Chains A and B, each alone.
Chain A
Amino acid sequence: MRVAVLAGGRTPERDVSQRSGHRVTTSLNRRGHEATMVDPAESPLVETLRGLSPELCYLTLHGKEGEDGTVQRLLDLLGFAYTGTAAFECEVAFDKVLAKDALARAGVATPPWVVIEGSALRDLGAGAALDLALERVGLPCVVKPSRSGSALGVGFVQREADLPNAVMAALAFSGAAIVEARIEGSEIAAGLVGTPQEPLPLVEIVPKNGAYDYAARYTAGATEYFAPARLPSDLVQACAAEAIRAAEALVTRDVTRVDLIADRAGVPWVLEVNVSPGMTETSLLPMAAHAAGMDLDDLCDAVLRSAQARS
């Protein structure tokens, strides 16, 4: 099959996306496809795709434009089929303000949170209500930009006095910040692949310095991973079930990574749902696939076939 692998782009995750894209392209070619990597930052996307005329676009763009429905809408307009979630659902999943709400409405457990809009701070004096946010979620808490990937702009807050700075840092990345309760427990990534999406073995994440931040994610050796996760089997079942519920609530397709925390009482909490999981050598999804006996070629092929079956 003629496949355009979209990777790179002009987001802070460009580097990660390029590494994902190279690996996916190599895998697909090894499986006999005719895959070409296309970087929208290096060649004009519309003209390049028209020239290549791919039967399918494999999306490994990360961050804004790649995961928020932008490229999906453009591909819809151009009439090219693509892997992964549809435009509107991408937009919801990428925006934590919308996604957390959608998850909660569907009865998925997600840590208590409060939204702080930059415009409410600037125009409505919302800063005076910041203490209420902490009352709602408690300490320690995590402050995240509503729309950003790869833990960029995420801050961990231990003391009340540190909250304003964390909010400012998150707002540098996005128009709104999420203040979320920090759940203590095991960090878990659940990969889902296919139609319907089937769970891969869970990956347990143990950052060496305690926080799974940007450096912990992308510095080789900064984090230990266990796949399959070292959890009791009933908790594994519960995490996988919650991940599937989350993916169903947000109507994701083909491939999804759900990030969870299993707390000490054995309750899985969904932190976020990723519609374009990383495929690099340190990424969680390939690790989960590996634990299932699938290599990267198998994983890419499964995603491709899932999208192909739809078109």
Chain B
Amino acid sequence: MAEFAIDRFIDRYAARTAGMSASEVRALFAVAARPEVVSLAGGMPFVEALPSEDILDVVREVFEEYGSMALQYCGGQGLIALRERLVGLMAEEHVTADPEDMVITTGAQQALDLIGKIFIDPGDLVAVEAPAYVGALTAFGAYQPRYLQIDLDEDGMIVDQLQEAFVRGDRPKFVYTCPNFGNPAGVTLSHSRREHLVALCREAGVPIVEDNPYGMLRFEGDPLPALRTLDPDNVIYLGTVSKVFSPGVRVGWALAEQSVVQRLVLAKEAADLCGSSLNMLVTERYFSGDRWRHNLTTLVDTYAGRRDVMLEAIEESFPSEARWTRPAGGFYIWVSLPHWIDARAMLAAAVERRVAYVPGTAFYPDGRGTNQMRLAFCYPTPERIREGIGRLGGLLDDEEQLYRSLHP
């Protein structure tokens, strides 16, 4: 007889799973996967831009140079050949590093989880941007922190707010920030705020977790110094090849001082023993020589063009009350709509009109952001971006008409 049970283990799950619930938004994304829906939701890198002959060469080189090593376990810290290669990649952004101070993780996402694991006890305070990267909120969330939310403006995190919190006596375990064209807001922390932030945190004895997935995708302007460069001792730096090479290889890393690295390595070994040797070596070979530079230029040009198209289309079709960010790089534009818009409720109507976005509430731990949305310009072609933004603009017009009629 077939077993029937709702969930036999219901009384046995850990309290930390209580926040993991089914959501309407997730259900709607099932529909957004239809090919006719222009998805401005997901932050999928445009990996189609990478020539497959390059990748085939890379894989061939892996087996020519490393042989069966690519098929074997490696140490929890990750292969030294890759760590050395990534030291060179970080140097491109003027971040100096010793390969011994690095641990390779399964995407930077795993580094977020491991950081949560080694730093957060239930009820601990963690400072995050508002809005913050949703993947960081869910990774940390499993360790049951309380959040101190620091608002963003066009110059990134409003560091004065953090200072006020410190003055009040708040001492978060760490401050998490995505300073370059961050997800989701697309804004960049200004030079003066970078200096303020590192000085403030150093004085308060609060470490900074600097997440930098998009730094190399700068379209214009001069690069700003990494927080890690400004204060190597107090900043844990997270990197990834997901946006400059491939998210499919799942290669990210943390760069931190030895005591932190040792704990991260132990936590990493407990989680999955070690990363994929094959993927590490593919990544190492990809960033040898100069082919990656050429491909990165193609990617940056592609993304910059798509950003321009999206900004232009938004300007044309969105209501005059709407405000949006103008990212100098990365993947995302953050839109604030009139206060009466509920972007989460509106998503169903958007999908019906064949366009999708991510409602703003996903990026706040406290339910704010109802009238905001994240739009990704990285994946759809310029034509599709124009189409998608046009459809959203039409929907916003109709919503306004509906709102006016409901508030005569």
Q: Do A and B bind each other?
A: yes
**Contact surface of A with B, Cβ cutoff 8 Å:** 10-15, 27, 30, 41, 118, 121-122, 125-128, 130, 150, 152-153, 164-165, 167-169, 171-173, 214-215, 217-222, 225, 281-282, 286-287, 290, 295-297
Instruction: Give Cα A121–Cα B3 distance, bound, in whole angstroms.
Output: 50
Given the known inter-chain contacts A122-B402, A214-B22, please indicate yes or no for A12 contacting B28, CB distance below 8 A.
yes
Q: Are B7 and A172 in contact (CB under 8 A)?
A: no
Q: Are B23 and A167 in contact (CB under 8 A)?
A: no
Q: Are A153 and B345 in contact (CB under 8 A)?
A: yes
Contacts of B4 in A (CB 8 A): 281, 286-287, 290, 295-296
Contacts of B294 in A (CB 8 A): none
Q: Are A215 and B345 in contact (CB under 8 A)?
A: no
Contacts of A169 in B (CB 8 A): 342, 345
How far does the Cβ of B43 sit from chain A's closest Cβ, in whole Å? Answer: 21
Instruction: Give Cα A59–Cα B28 distance, bound, in whole angstroms.
Output: 21
Instruction: Give Cα A143–Cα B398 distance, bound, in whole angstroms.
Output: 20
Q: Are B27 and A10 in contact (CB under 8 A)?
A: no
Q: Are A127 and B13 in contact (CB under 8 A)?
A: no
Instruction: Give Cα A13–Cα B348 distance, bound, in whole angstroms.
Output: 12
Give A18's nearest chain B residue, CB to CB: B30
Q: Does B2 contact A (CB under 8 A)?
A: yes
Query: What are 19 residue pairs bridging A and B, where the CB atoms are less than 8 Å apart in the complex?
Result: A10-B30, A10-B34, A14-B27, A15-B27, A118-B402, A125-B405, A127-B405, A165-B340, A169-B342, A220-B7, A220-B10, A221-B10, A281-B4, A281-B6, A282-B6, A287-B4, A295-B3, A296-B2, A297-B1
Contact of B24 among A27, A152, A167, A296 (CB under 8 A): A152
Question: B119-152 toward A: CB 8 Å interface, digit per residue (1/0)?
Answer: 0000000000000000000000000000000000
Given pairs A125-B408, A168-B342, A171-B402, 16 additional interface contacts (CB within 8 A): A10-B31, A12-B348, A14-B30, A41-B34, A121-B402, A122-B401, A125-B405, A153-B345, A168-B345, A169-B345, A171-B349, A172-B347, A214-B23, A214-B27, A215-B22, A297-B2
Give A124's nearest chain B residue, CB to CB: B405
Q: Does B74 contact A (CB under 8 A)?
A: no
Q: Are A221 and B2 in contact (CB under 8 A)?
A: no
**Contact surface of B with A, Cβ cutoff 8 Å:** 1-7, 10, 13, 20-24, 27-28, 30-31, 33-34, 340, 342, 345-349, 352, 398-399, 401-408
Instruction: Give Cα A126–Cα B402 distance, bound, in whole angstroms.
Output: 10
Contacts of A296 in B (CB 8 A): 2, 4
Given the known inter-chain contacts A15-B30, A27-B2, please indicate yes or no for A172 contacting B407, CB distance below 8 A.
no
Contacts of A215 in B (CB 8 A): 21-23
Give A148's nearest chain B residue, CB to CB: B348
Q: Are B31 and A222 in contact (CB under 8 A)?
A: no
Q: Are A168 and B406 in contact (CB under 8 A)?
A: yes
Give B4's nearest chain A residue, CB to CB: A290
How far does the Cβ of B152 sit from chain A's closest Cβ, in whole Å? Answer: 26
How far does the Cβ of A283 sit from chain B's closest Cβ, in whole Å? Answer: 9
Contacts of B10 in A (CB 8 A): 220-221
Contacts of B402 in A (CB 8 A): 118, 121-122, 168, 171
Q: Are A167 and B406 in contact (CB under 8 A)?
A: yes
Contacts of A153 in B (CB 8 A): 24, 345, 348
Q: Are A127 and B30 in contact (CB under 8 A)?
A: no
Contacts of B2 in A (CB 8 A): 27, 30, 295-297
Give A121's nearest chain B residue, CB to CB: B405
How far does the Cβ of B394 sit from chain A's closest Cβ, in whole Å? Answer: 13
Contacts of B24 in A (CB 8 A): 12, 152-153, 214
Give A154's nearest chain B residue, CB to CB: B24
Q: Are A121 and B406 in contact (CB under 8 A)?
A: yes
Contacts of B31 in A (CB 8 A): 10-12, 14
Give A282's nearest chain B residue, CB to CB: B6
Contact of A165 among B7, B20, B342 (CB under 8 A): B342
Contacts of B405 in A (CB 8 A): 121-122, 125-127
Give B7's nearest chain A residue, CB to CB: A220
Report, nearest first, the 6 A-B pairs whose CB atoms are least far apart. A169-B345, A218-B22, A172-B349, A164-B406, A12-B27, A14-B30
Instruction: Give Cα A4–Cα B3 distance, bound, in whole angstroms.
Output: 23
Instruction: Give Cα A169–Cα B350 distance, bound, in whole angstroms.
Output: 12
Q: Are B6 and A295 in contact (CB under 8 A)?
A: no
Q: Are B407 and A173 in contact (CB under 8 A)?
A: no
Give A27's nearest chain B residue, CB to CB: B2
Give A8's nearest chain B residue, CB to CB: B30
Instruction: Give Cα A168–Cα B346 distance, bound, in whole angstroms.
Output: 8
Contacts of B408 in A (CB 8 A): 125, 127-128
Instruction: Give Cα A105–Cα B10 distance, bound, in whole angstroms.
Output: 43
Q: Are B7 and A282 in contact (CB under 8 A)?
A: yes
How far does the Cβ of B388 sit from chain A's closest Cβ, in whole Å? Answer: 17
Contacts of A130 in B (CB 8 A): 406
Q: Are A172 and B21 in contact (CB under 8 A)?
A: no
Contacts of B348 in A (CB 8 A): 12, 152-153, 172-173
How far does the Cβ of B318 sit from chain A's closest Cβ, in whole Å? Answer: 18
Contacts of A152 in B (CB 8 A): 24, 27, 348
Contacts of B7 in A (CB 8 A): 220-221, 281-282
Give A294's nearest chain B residue, CB to CB: B4
Q: Are A221 and B398 in contact (CB under 8 A)?
A: no
Give A164's nearest chain B residue, CB to CB: B406
How far does the Cβ of B265 sit from chain A's closest Cβ, in whole Å? Answer: 35
Instruction: Give Cα A173–Cα B28 distance, bound, in whole angstroms.
Output: 11
How far does the Cβ of B396 sit from chain A's closest Cβ, in whole Å? Answer: 12
Q: Are B27 and A13 in contact (CB under 8 A)?
A: yes
Instruction: Give Cα A287–Cα B5 distance, bound, in whole angstroms.
Output: 8
Contacts of A127 in B (CB 8 A): 404-408
Give A11's nearest chain B residue, CB to CB: B31
Contact of A172 among B3, B6, B13, B346 (CB under 8 A): B346
Instruction: Give Cα A128–Cα B20 distance, bound, in whole angstroms.
Output: 41
Instruction: Give Cα A169–Cα B34 distance, bound, in whole angstroms.
Output: 22
Instruction: Give Cα A172–Cα B343 distance, bound, in whole angstroms.
Output: 10
Instruction: Give Cα A9–Cα B33 distance, bound, in whole angstroms.
Output: 11
Instruction: Give Cα A164–Cα B405 distance, bound, in whole angstroms.
Output: 10
How far does the Cβ of B142 sit from chain A's closest Cβ, in whole Å? Answer: 16
How far does the Cβ of B382 sit from chain A's closest Cβ, in whole Å? Answer: 26
Contacts of A290 in B (CB 8 A): 4
How far does the Cβ of A218 sit from chain B's closest Cβ, in whole Å? Answer: 4
Contacts of B1 in A (CB 8 A): 295, 297
Instruction: Give Cα A167–Cα B401 distance, bound, in whole angstroms.
Output: 13
Instruction: Give Cα A27–Cα B125 distance, bound, in whole angstroms.
Output: 49
How far does the Cβ of B267 sit from chain A's closest Cβ, in whole Å? Answer: 28
Contacts of A222 in B (CB 8 A): 21
How far does the Cβ of B48 sit from chain A's closest Cβ, in whole Å? Answer: 22
